[in-house]
A and B are shown apart, each in its own frame.
Chain A
């Protein structure tokens, strides 16, 4: 592809690509997300290619591999476009049938369709499936439609149009104004207004500033950022370039966990492609604006998701957080003003600028605008990746979209926000999902992990699991977190093994609150949440363990699995 030297070049390229697409043939879209790949999605792709080639009709159809389509539980997924026929749990042996029956004879294969859990009816069209029907996809809008390794696909869908718009119709201050009006808040969990953050960094004097995209998604049970980076990396890059333009910076980093090799590969490819066509690098689209992005691989430390720790890690130090202020906005990477945004936050930017802040403003609740991507996991029927408007209730998310609890068990609790969040019991299932409401019930929005547990799970053991995780990941810099989490773990061990007393529960409560109030960074400040919330809502389970020990029952053997 030639280098694009102006907005007009980009528009012409898009026109050209679209014209080609109009002639487009029927496409076979295969989900290439890690979930489907685990079930053999790659094999399905290869088999399709082989058979189509054998039959000499490989050019009649378009074979495409996309990023995560969300419905991982049902993988591997194959969707036939434009009719939107949705086949699930496709096996290698089914490929021949799909080609003969559906592609050539235009007949739908009933046995590969999704069966609605409630009505037991087969559903043909992807958008009719309850899992997809109730979603509103802005960030994930092209996941499942475009090939993440092709910049042409993204441009043809209208990608990089917002970038074009900011150069021709808006200036940096208008961009910031628009994002501020939209009400977008940080999707990493804390919910700081994005427009405000950009404005602060923009107003700090200095000619060298940095923009960092935080893709260190360390929360166990969360895979939103990974799916975005793997499914549509260009939308994140576009958000970054726009952000850089708005705050006036020339160098950006994407920090991605080393545990996500596929995401790293996808993003690297996207960076190379955009550099090649002149959307990234020097003199972007001939507008005299320079910006380049480099990937930094994480090395396995949960605390590096905290912004100051992340900066330390990029600087090649031990990833330990430091006291704030000064905030990174004034003194960040190598002491320079630095803006750190989460992957999902940045992926929202092109959508907002394309559709307008006032449109974005109509979605969501009063204080939380837009949508949120969630990773549904645990003992739930439809596990996978979903995007819903803010204000959707937990019940809708778990029972309507998630299809309820697996294997006919009973719902017990939902844990949001990973090890930093709390466990929410059934009585609060009608809580609307927004930053404030979740905080009110003792949890947090977090980055979007949502783990559902059924009545077989012991909540005390569950809380112990999280404290064990936080304790293990504590960097050890500040005392409350280093020693506090360890003591909390000791107490929980004691209770779980059946040796706890009533006063241990009070001590655990006090200790939890102290750690929460006195820790240096977000890790310690939120590590007690799982304990405090379970103590509040599931105290009976703690008491049952204690009563058991005082009534002289033999203490329950504790497994030594977490001894390491």
Chain B
């Protein structure tokens, strides 16, 4: 909560309704999802009913209310990727990860999610893999950084079902430690 509080303190004006979305984005960057307690905390701090905050959060597809895996694997299902076979990539990812789209692996390493166009249509089908949260802490303790991969989203273009395994490999590192 300290981090959220710092963020609120740092804003050079009194936070109000219009700051809800940036605040939620900040919370999701910290936790990788929106924990209920964080929303209640924010509600008290900026004097906006939690029902309103919840209403805003549920509207936008960016926000998640359940913990996500360390890495989010996004399959683009935009038109261009669709006509180039994004559904085959999704099926393969589901098979390799052993989860359905929208779910998280039991070890909380991967969350599989389909997303609308990521704007790299020329290179479809696209898979984007990125850290679900920015800070490398989880459940109160620091997580060992995975040196194989950089922070931030990495784009993979012209993906074929055969390439799926190879794409996921570098992100598996932290599991075996």
Which residues in A have some Cβ–Cβ distance to B below 8 Å?
Answer: 34-35, 37-39, 72-73, 75, 217-223, 226, 258-261, 296-302, 313-320, 375-379, 383-385, 415, 418-419, 449, 451, 453, 457, 462, 465-466, 469, 473, 475, 559, 561, 564
Contacts and interface: CB of A to CB of B under 8 A. Distances in A.
Nearest to A469: B116
B124 interface: yes
A221 B24 contact: no
Given A451-B79, A564-B100, 4 more contacts: A34-B155, A221-B80, A259-B117, A377-B124
Interface of B: 16-22, 24-25, 55-56, 59-63, 77-80, 82-84, 87, 90-91, 100-102, 114-124, 126, 152-153, 155-157
Contacts of A317: 17, 56
Q: Which of B18, B77, B122, B156 gathers the greatest number of chain A CB atoms within 10 Å?
A: B122
Nearest to A223: B119
Contact of A318 (B59, B61, B62, B123): B59
Given A299-B60, A299-B63, A451-B79, A72 B120 contact: yes
B115 A259 contact: yes
Contacts of A258: 25, 62
Contacts of A457: 83
A226 B87 contact: no
B127 to A, nearest CB: 10
Given A378-B84, A465-B79, A222 B121 contact: yes
A563 B123 CA distance: 26
B153 A72 contact: no
Secondary structure of the B contact surface, majority rule: mixed
B119 A564 contact: no
A453 B17 CA distance: 44
Given A72-B123, A313-B21, A379 B83 contact: yes
B21 A378 contact: no
B123 A35 contact: yes
A219 B117 contact: yes
Contacts of B120: 34-35, 38, 72, 223
B55 A378 contact: no
Contacts of A75: 123
B17 A38 contact: no
Given A258-B62, A261-B153, A221 B22 contact: no
A382 to B, nearest CB: 9
A298 B63 CA distance: 11
Contact of B22 (A38, A297, A449): A297
From A34, A222, A385, A564, residue with most partner B Cβ within 10 Å: A34
Contact of B122 (A37, A298, A314, A383): A383
7 contacts: A75-B123, A220-B79, A221-B121, A259-B117, A260-B119, A300-B62, A377-B80
B122 A376 contact: yes
B22 A465 contact: no
B102 A564 contact: yes
Determine which residue in B21, B22, B25 has the highest number of CB atoms from chain A within 10 A of its CB, and name it.
Answer: B21
Contacts of B116: 218, 220, 259, 300, 302, 469, 473
A292 to B, nearest CB: 14
Nearest to A313: B21
A377 B122 CA distance: 5
